[in-house]
A and B are shown apart, each in its own frame.
Chain A
């Protein structure tokens, strides 16, 4: 099969970008979308043209490195998968496929389809952890956790930190990402001591990074490759309200060294 791809090309953050359309060589429908880009890039390189820059690593849907908005949808046409798990058999012969980066102010563009998502790391650094020094943990079975809680925490913890939720949201809100992190730890007994300072610190950092508010359109849930539920946002809002009632935590979480 052959397709055309209309790709966003932009040399760097400070230059203007534009769409450029390329014809693909002959493709195998069992190729992944990224393998299709590999093949297109190999053709560009051999011609002396600059290959299309795109982010990728594990290519099995777990590292969260790949991004891409494909025909207007982050991670492409299918539900519950990342771009790297999207296969060319999902497209038809002769399709014109539009490929763009994840667009959001807190994700500044690096080149072509690559954006910088360090803002997610900074949210985590503000409070996305349980403060437990290495060596100070009790026996793992000392604190039983109801299976339902452990399973729900795992549902939230599956988030791969890709940023598709932000790219899909008209407000560039990071609420689904942050709520997944807050809920994962907040659902476990180990996470209780820091529960309220955690949510406060993470939401404050999220706001400081310039992510927008949530207006509950649900577009984030619809594109999430791990199908993280919107319910976690409600859970985070409750925790956040509680943290406001309890007052400002003293400084950001941390300690240790």
Chain B
């Protein structure tokens, strides 16, 4: 069993982060440069961490599989970033952002981590503004805000519909500055394929140069993974095609625990699937729900009609009806499930019947088309490119799609995994969003971890490492890790089967979406585990991979990533099966409110809302690899709430 110590500081919640920073060890400037830190990934978390660690004086090496450290999928985030600035004077505060996030996560995140996130959120906006991030402004020159789901205040800062891009370019500019002056060594087209653990501590990585195929060993005093989420396990998702789980999965196989893998966010507003050839799904930002109203026809018979031919009284604005207090800005898990229910009733729209309308006609009537164009012009343009429909004239068709994974490698309060020296940031860790993430909080967490948390907490670990005690790359552990990577490559290239890696990925995605997607149940999950196990066996025997080892070989890259997705998919199903409750994005059909429950009768929740079982499942599930062919071991970290009472989550 792994030892999981969350290392949450003692004392009152609001003072924990400050007192922790004070009691943490410091490293003097002359010694900092003797420590080398490897950072894998250059999205918001990785780029901000690399730049900040280098500013502090550490020697940093950054690795990305992309051709440039400016391409990570943080760049695609559209809507915005939350911060408890209260610039709108609408009653926001650190405590309110903390509370909204805890409640939004359905009481499955750590209080102390979330409070810290809310505290540093204000510093992020200051930092990014100073870097030149062109946030939207009002005519007086001050920063503008808008609202996002799960909040009743306007705390979201944005840069048109390209907030992620602008924040990432800000972090990339900070990183570029430190690369330019020698503080960071940047490796691009460099994919991490294994973690090297020496005497129980993370001390290096094995990397494949995607251009030449060369395999190299890299050593450091600590390793930071900021490699993003694993939603592509579903094949179809809003992730970039290259997003993968390989770095964190191989770290899992080297001993790092994987926490809450089944917690997946299904985003309510994406462009519906149009055919089997499809390679990705495109998000329509949650910010659209500020002005768009979601509806389906009241009667099944109307589903085939043009939306304009369905009169107002025959439309069901179901979010407004079911969740009056939050309406169209109900949180993502709640909104997605509601859309699924109306489609299950046969009231879905569009060619597949899997769609609902997102209608702007009221807002255009109220504000004029030019105002809507100013707010969301690029999103309407994206919609038009994909569907060839004009959303100024006719409502958008949308449907939920996989968008984010709240689960990830287990980390303590210092963002260190159970493998000492291995730190995990951003979407790759599990810590701050519980069972459901609120909109505009992913950018906040990535930058909080990278700019403000890790640069402070990493010193606690490094202070225990003697400067200059780094192992040598010719040590046995490095040789063994490199050989395991080479063996895997040889296996893939030697496979003489009949199916491509992509065809397996598609099949895996279908299994995951069917049995481990928006609704899950015991029988389905058990079946999925069997199906995945069979798929894994076929992957071993019937795979074909093109090309050679020492060249640019995209088939080989994909082969490795799909192998990891297959294994991870099985773990996700095991986790979902174990968690016999519903919470946030994890909806087990056996555990939902019904008309017989007092909470429904009192009007707190609706029938069909998720039902938690705090007496049995108020814990973080941290899965530990037990070796090939063996069932993983479940470790439990109890969730202790000191400040907030775990209660029924109501958005009515």
Chain A contact residues, CB within 8 Å of chain B: 11-12, 27-28, 30-32, 34-35, 38-39, 42, 44-46, 48-51, 53, 55-65, 78, 80-81, 85, 87, 89, 110-111, 114, 116-118, 120-121, 124-141, 143-147, 150-151, 153-154, 157-158, 160-161, 184-185, 188, 190-191, 252-257
The reply on B70 being an interface residue by CB < 8 A is yes
The reply on B503 being an interface residue by CB < 8 A is yes
- B-side contacts of A46, CB under 8 Å: 498, 500, 544
Check B130 against A117 for contact (C-beta < 8 Å).
Answer: no
Check A256 against B141 for contact (C-beta < 8 Å).
Answer: no
Q: Report how far A140 CA is from B162 CA in the complex, Å.
A: 19
Q: Report how far A78 CA is from B388 CA in the complex, Å.
A: 13
The residue of chain A having its C-beta at the shortest distance from the C-beta of B186 within the complex is A121
- B-side contacts of A116, CB under 8 Å: 67, 211
Check B452 against A145 for contact (C-beta < 8 Å).
Answer: no
- B-side contacts of A49, CB under 8 Å: 546
Q: Assess A157 versus B280: contact at CB under 8 Å? Given A118-B68, A135-B123.
A: no
Nearest chain B CB to A153's CB is how many angstroms away? 4
Nearest chain B CB to A157's CB is how many angstroms away? 5
Find residues 141-157 in chain B having any chain A CB closer than 8 Å to their own CB. Answer: 141-143
The reply on B159 being an interface residue by CB < 8 A is yes
Check B75 against A62 for contact (C-beta < 8 Å).
Answer: yes
Q: Report how far A129 CA is from B138 CA in the complex, Å.
A: 25
Sorting the interface of chain B by its residue count into under 10, 10 to 19, 20 to 34 or 35 or more gives 35 or more
The residue of chain A having its C-beta at the shortest distance from the C-beta of B181 within the complex is A254
Q: Report how far A80 CA is from B33 CA in the complex, Å.
A: 46
Check B132 against A51 for contact (C-beta < 8 Å).
Answer: no
Check B127 against A132 for contact (C-beta < 8 Å).
Answer: yes
The reply on B555 being an interface residue by CB < 8 A is yes
The residue of chain B having its C-beta at the shortest distance from the C-beta of A160 within the complex is B165
Q: Assess A58 versus B141: contact at CB under 8 Å? Given A116-B211, A134-B48.
A: no
- The number of A-B residue pairs with CB atoms under 8 Å apart is 244
Check A153 against B134 for contact (C-beta < 8 Å).
Answer: yes
- B-side contacts of A190, CB under 8 Å: 129-132
- A-side contacts of B500, CB under 8 Å: 42, 45-46
Check A132 against B130 for contact (C-beta < 8 Å).
Answer: yes
Q: Report how far A53 CA is from B154 CA in the complex, Å.
A: 45
Nearest chain B CB to A197's CB is how many angstroms away? 12
Find residues 173-189 in chain B having any chain A CB closer than 8 Å to their own CB. Answer: 173-174, 176-183, 186, 188
Check B66 against A53 for contact (C-beta < 8 Å).
Answer: no
Check A147 against B68 for contact (C-beta < 8 Å).
Answer: no
Nearest chain A CB to B106's CB is how many angstroms away? 29
- B-side contacts of A114, CB under 8 Å: 552
Check B277 against A38 for contact (C-beta < 8 Å).
Answer: yes
Q: Report how far A151 CA is from B159 CA in the complex, Å.
A: 9
- A-side contacts of B388, CB under 8 Å: 87, 89
Check A140 against B143 for contact (C-beta < 8 Å).
Answer: yes
The reply on B278 being an interface residue by CB < 8 A is yes
Check B132 against A188 for contact (C-beta < 8 Å).
Answer: yes
Task: Write 27 A-B pairs (CB below 8 A) sorted by A numbering.
Answer: A27-B277, A28-B277, A31-B275, A42-B500, A42-B503, A45-B500, A58-B240, A59-B280, A60-B280, A60-B283, A85-B382, A129-B177, A130-B130, A133-B55, A134-B48, A134-B451, A137-B123, A137-B127, A137-B131, A138-B126, A141-B142, A141-B143, A146-B141, A151-B134, A161-B70, A254-B180, A257-B54
Check B181 against A59 for contact (C-beta < 8 Å).
Answer: no
- B-side contacts of A11, CB under 8 Å: 551
Q: Assess A257 versus B183: contact at CB under 8 Å? Given A63-B76, A87-B386.
A: yes
